[in-house]
Amino acid sequence: MILTRRAALGGTQLDSQDASIVISGTDPGTPKETVNAVSLMGGSGQRISGRHYEMIEASVSYAINKPKKQLAARREVFDKANAWALAKGWLTMNCMDGKRLWVENVGIPSSGDLFNWTEEYTITFRAYGVPFWQDATATTATIAAADEGSGSITVPGTTETVCNAEITNASGDTIDTMGVTIGSSSFSFSGLGLANGEKLVIGHQNDGVLFIRIYNGNLYRDAYGKRTGGNDDLYVNPGSNDITITGGSVTATVSCYGRYL
């Protein structure tokens, strides 16, 4: 039954699995944060020495609008809802318009006594690699050869995210050494062997894992080992972030997905 609250996985709505599914609640959750602190040398108080977001749990609750004596039919609907949830993938809720969550683990409720026709069932969705809701559409900035490797990108969201970059060699020669700086984060490369027209791609899988490749048409080779310095990733904060690419004449597209607490 389609009501105000809706939730979908991979674009497939929960309430489309059976007409008797009534979504009674959606909770996008809040990222779970670990904060480390050390005591000050004298007097009272502590100093924060580190903080880390671990994971996030979102949940969807639903009821089954079938008579309590139709136990087999109610169980069939319960199984449909579980099968939908276990597909995992991108979770969307209409209360989080334009945003999505990459689900890696799902907690399935017990059916309990299906004779209790007013019972509500709650499915829990967990994200670990990227423990944030993030924009479904990327924010992008382009750099032309005439820009001499400089530009800026305005990062949306309420917390730190990472940038992707596609950098094409437009120099006419092979580029072996390159520096990429976005905001206060940077990568440096040596021994790239990036031929004219080839593309260096700095990207992330859905679970946030970094990859670095060189593409020549549809073929690519790994370039992760060509990174010789800089940060662990191209971390950026919300707001305007300068872009600088050194090493030769290039064109580039830099992109990011805003993340939200």
Mean pLDDT by runs of 10 across the 261 residues of the chain is 89 96 96 79 73 92 95 96 96 97 97 92 98 98 94 98 98 96 97 97 97 96 95 97 96 98 94
Other Cβ atoms within 10 Å of 181 Cβ, number: 20
Enumerate residues 6+ apart whose C-beta is below 8 A from 221: 213, 214
* Tokens matching residue 245: 């690419």
3-58 pLDDT, tens digit each? 789 999 999 999 999 999 999 999 999 999 887 767 777 778 777 766 778 999 99
The two beta strands, 210-216 and 199-204, are antiparallel
Q: What is the pLDDT of residue 200?
A: 98
What is the C-alpha radius of gyration for the chain, rounded to an integer number of angstroms?
24
pLDDT for residue 3: 77
Domain termination residue (choose one: 107, 133, 159): 133
Instruction: Give the range of the structural domain holding residue 15, as residue numbers without chain letter.
Output: 7-133
The CA distance from 125 to 122, in Å, is: 10
The answer to whether residues 116 and 170 belong to one domain is: no
pTM of this structure? 0.91
* Alpha carbons within 13 A on the beta-carbon side of 214: 21
Q: Do 14 and 120 belong to one domain? A: yes
3-state secondary structure of 135: strand
Nearest Cα residue to 117 out of 81, 63, 60: 63
Beta strands 199-204 and 259-260 are unpaired
> Does residue 23 fall inside a structural domain?
yes
Is residue 245 included in any domain, yes or no?
Answer: yes
Which tokens belong to 46? 């502590």
Shared domain for 183 and 171, answered yes or no, is yes
How many other CB atoms sit within 10 Å of the CB of residue 191? 11
Structure tokens at 238: 């919300």
How many CA atoms lie less than 13 Å away from 180 in the CB half-sphere? 28
Buried b (16+ CB within 10 A) or exposed e, 95-131: ebeebbbbbbebeebebeebeeeebebebbbbbeebb
Q: Which residues pair with 258 in a beta bridge?
A: none
**pLDDT on residue 159:** 97
Output the pLDDT for position 2.
77
Q: Are residues 143 and 127 in the same domain?
A: no
Residues 6+ apart with CB under 8 A from 10: 87, 89, 90
Same domain, 101 and 22: yes
Contacts for 118 with CB less than 8 Å, ≥ 6 apart: 63
| CATH code for the domain in which residue 160 is found | 2.60.120.880
Enclosing H/E stretch for 12 = strand 12-13
User: Do 108 and 201 share a domain, yes or no?
Assistant: no
Q: Between the CA of residue 256 and those of 4, 10, 16, 153, 235, what are the distances in Å?
A: 31, 21, 32, 9, 10
Give the β-pairing of 99-103 and 133-135.
Answer: antiparallel
Q: What is the pLDDT of residue 64?
A: 96
